[in-house]
Chain A
């Protein structure tokens, strides 16, 4: 699927559609350049899922954990990790193995261990406020 989103206001509708389409697929891989809006999208998805926590960038912390009524959501950012070994050492498999949502930014470093049913979201910058979003 593919969307052209012209402003942040249009995002929630698109994200709701994505959540419905994804169904039980809970490991989401977000790719896109710096400033494309990956964290912004994850922020909105978490809100749709009923999360009231502050959602901030996990670039430094690598993993943020948010509370929702039925458990937790993991927000990961692998930007600082150099290779798969570093990701394995920080315990990436323990996050992927749990039956909870994992929204992962900069996931290329763990591509060899992406779950087979991983959702792939690619965000492309068209201009200042317009984004092309691909959903696989």
Chain B
């Protein structure tokens, strides 16, 4: 008989629910205007109160879209952490309550592991062991993945995440938040005329705080000479910054691949939507003979589909948790 799994994700801004059947994702719903139009009301922003308002319509929509009734569910997976505690509690409590009422097992999932395992949502899937660079607004790390339950962090950021570097650069340039997609778009029309320094940090670790500061001084100095510097050079500045961020990421990924000898290389997280990063991993991959993997965009940003995939691996191992499980901001 088919195994139906419901997954819930509420670790930060987005409330999301997904239904998976025998390893295939049937639905992956993130709270947004569409969901709310169905039920009336507007989308609340950041915060646990927003998750409380979102969770029922989102779970309901995920079940309906999958054509599965809650009585057909075999287990419920949820994000236990890391994340914002108030937000996590909403998803964890909901998962526990529903599992208790349906008398089905609970599966806890680590949000960061799930980003990596998002690669198993669709073909092509990487072979073990593979390397995964996870880049988002809040995270930047390289992991060596030997099995779904065996990952080793080889390097991570010591200050800002790569996505934050994009967003804060945008702030300095007067662009709206989140600035990543706009910088990506502007970069296509610009050239990398300006040079920003590479950080000096441990072999596989990242640092983006110094880059932010150097961009700040650069803009300040140029604007003293020409007050319209930013407006007149927007595309070139965007391209220069983007190229630098991508080269910082790719250099470390290349080093990790060289050191481990692993040729299965993947990227994950919201920033993997960036066109320059996608192009760069393909180009470097071809040069180095890697097999490269980039998940579909809906599995890159925070979503319950990846929680479902990670949860299914645990379901197969009967790795369940009891009703005494609690959300954890740091795990």
Q: State the A residues within 8 Å of B (CB).
A: 33-35, 39-40, 43, 54, 56-57, 59-65, 67, 80-82, 86, 89-91, 94, 128
**Is B213 an interface residue, CB under 8 A from the partner?**
yes
Question: Which residue in A34, A57, A61, A80 is a CB contact (below 8 Å) of B216?
Answer: A34
Question: Are the C-beta atoms of A60 and B164 separated by less than 8 Å?
Answer: yes
A90 touches B329 (CB 8 A): no
Residue interface bits B155-172, CB-to-A below 8 A is 1, else 0: 011111101100110011
Please give me the residue from chain A that is nearest to B89 by CB atom. Answer: A91
Do residues B172 and A34 form an inter-chain contact, with CB atoms below 8 A? yes
Residues of A within 8 A of B139 (CB): 60
**Shortest distance from the beta carbon of B166 to any chain A beta carbon, whole Å:** 11
Query: Of B46, B164, B171, B172, which one neighbours A90 at CB under 8 angstroms?
Result: B46
| B223 interfacial contact with A, CB 8 Å | no
B248 at the interface (CB under 8 A from A): no
- Contact present for B50 and A89 (CB under 8 Å): yes
Asked if B159 and A94 make an inter-chain contact with CB atoms under 8 angstroms apart, the answer reads no
What is the distance, in angstroms, from B120's C-beta to the closest C-beta of chain A? 25
Q: Does B200 reach chain A (CB closer than 8 Å)?
A: no
CB-based contact B159/A57 at 8 Å: yes
A89 vs B54: C-alpha distance when bound (angstroms): 14
Asked if B46 and A89 sit within 8 Å, CB to CB, the answer is yes
Indicate if B209 sits at the interface (CB-CB under 8 A): yes
The answer for the CA separation of A61 and B49 in the assembled complex, in Å, is 16
Known: A89-B47, A128-B217. A59 touches B164 (CB 8 A): yes
Q: With both chains docked as a complex, state the minimum distance between the C-beta of A38 and any C-beta of chain B, in angstroms.
A: 10
